[in-house]
Amino acid sequence: MQSTNNLNVNVKEALNEKEGFHVWWRLMRPHTLTASFIPVSVGTMIAYIDGSINWLLFVAMLIACLLIQSATNMFNEYFDHKRGLDTEESVGIGGTIVRDGIAPKKIRNIAFIFYGISILIGVYICAASSWWIAVIGLICMAFGYLYTGGPLPISYTPLGELFSGVLMGSVIIGITYFIQTGTVTATMIWISLPITIFIGSINLSNNIRDRDGDEIGGRKTIPVLIGREKAITFLAILFIIAYVLTAIYMIIGILPIWSIITFLSAIKARSVIQNFRGKTAPLEMMPAMKATGITNTIYGFLLAISLLISKLV
C-alpha cells in the first residue's frame, strides 16, 4: 500500500497537480478545450465576413460548447475509472477520482448538470435561430456521452478521431455560422476542414500517448491497430493535409491571402512530431499531446485574425 501511495505522490508532483480549485479545473482537461472555442470563434468570424455578429449568440454558443466538452471529459473520467482503465499512475486524465479521491458518481452528476445548463442555453440559441439546432445539439451531446459510455464506446474503436473531428470541427463551425446567418455555405464547409483535421489530431495524439494502456484495456484505437510509430507518421500526414488545404484555399480564393499567417502554427505542429518520436512513456509524451492542442489554437486564432483583416481592409 505504501508503494502505491508513493507512486501517487510522484505522479502528482511530475504533473504539477495541485489541490483546491485545480482539482476541478483539471477535471475539465483545459488543454483540450481548444476544440470548443476555436471552432466557435472561426465559425463566427466566417459569418462576420458574410454579414454581422450577434455577440450574445456568440457567447451563448461558446459557453454551451465548453460545457458540453467539459461534460464529455467528465464522462470519460467516470467511465474509464468504472472500467478499470485509470489508475494512480495514469497521465492525460484529470486524476480527480484516482488521485484526488472524488466520488465517481459526483463526477458523473456534475457532467449531467453541465449538460442541463447547456440545454438551457441551447433553448435561447434555438429561439433566436432555429429549433433544428436542438436536434443537432442533442445528437452531439449523445455522441459526447457515448464516446466512453454505452455498450460499445466510440473510444474503443478506430473512429474516435473521425467523430471528434467532424462533430467538434465542421458541425460546431456549421452551427455557429448558421445561428449567425441563417444558412450554411460550401465555403464555410471547406474552411472548416483543416480545423476538423486539427481537432481529430488532438484525439489521435491522446491515443498515441495512451496506446499501451488502451491495448491492455481492450481498445482498438488507430495507434493500437497500426502501432505507435506509424500513428505518429499518420499524425504528421494529417498536419500536412491541413496546411495543403489551407494553401489551396488561398490560391483559389476561398481564403484570403492574409491566411498565410496560419502557417506560423506549423512550427508548433513540427514540435509535436519531434516530441513524440522515440518516446514510449506516457509522461514523456505529455508535451507532445499539449502541443497538438496548442497547434489547433494557434492555427484557428490566426485563421480568425486573417478573416477579420480581410473584412477590414
Alpha-carbon distance 247 to 250, whole Å?
Answer: 5
The CB-side HSE value for 231 (13 A sphere, CA atoms) comes to 28
> Has residue 4 been placed in a domain?
no
Nearest to 198 by CA among 298, 94, 65: 298
pLDDT score for 14: 60
Neighbours of 1 (CB within 10 A): 5
Residue 111 CB partners (closer than 8 Å, separation 6+): 70, 71, 72, 74, 75, 78
pLDDT of residue 15: 59
Flag whether 1 is in a domain.
no
* Residue 216 counted as domain residue: yes
DSSP class of residue 94 equals: -
Q: Give the number of domains in the chain.
A: 1
CA gap 272, 262 in Å, rounded: 16
Say if 306 falls within a structural domain: yes
How far apart (Å, rounded) are the C-alpha atoms in residues 142 and 12?
Answer: 32
186-214 pLDDT per residue, tens: 999 999 999 999 999 999 999 999 999 88
- Helices (DSSP H) in the chain: which residue ranges? 2-14, 21-27, 34-50, 55-82, 104-128, 132-146, 160-165, 172-181, 186-209, 211-216, 222-226, 228-252, 266-276, 282-312
The reported pTM is 0.89
Cβ(299)–Cβ(197) below 8 Å: no
C-alpha closest to that of 228 among 204, 208, 205: 208
The pLDDT value given to residue 61: 96
User: What was the pLDDT predicted at 3?
Assistant: 40
Tens digits of pLDDT across the chain (313 residues): 334 444 444 555 665 556 766 777 878 888 788 889 999 999 999 999 988 899 999 999 999 999 999 999 889 888 888 887 776 666 666 678 877 788 889 999 999 999 999 999 999 999 999 999 999 999 999 998 899 888 889 999 999 999 999 999 999 999 999 999 999 999 999 999 999 999 999 999 999 999 998 898 889 999 999 999 999 999 999 999 999 999 999 999 999 999 999 999 999 999 999 999 999 888 889 899 999 999 999 999 999 999 999 998 8
| pLDDT score, position 9 | 46
Q: Are 276 and 234 in contact (CB under 8 A)?
A: no
Q: Please choose, from the candidates 232, 235, 159, the residue with its C-alpha nearest in 3D space to the C-alpha of residue 197.
A: 235
Structural domain contains residue 3 = no
Domain encompassing residue 97: 11-312
Residue 102 lies in a domain: yes
Q: Is 88 helix (H, G, I), strand (E, B) or coil?
A: coil
pLDDT given at position 17: 58
The per-residue pLDDT for 1 is 37
- pLDDT, position 56: 96
In a domain, 135, yes or no: yes
Residue 71 lies in a domain: yes
Query: CATH code at 265?
Result: 1.10.600
How far apart are alpha carbons 311 and 142 in whole angstroms? 37
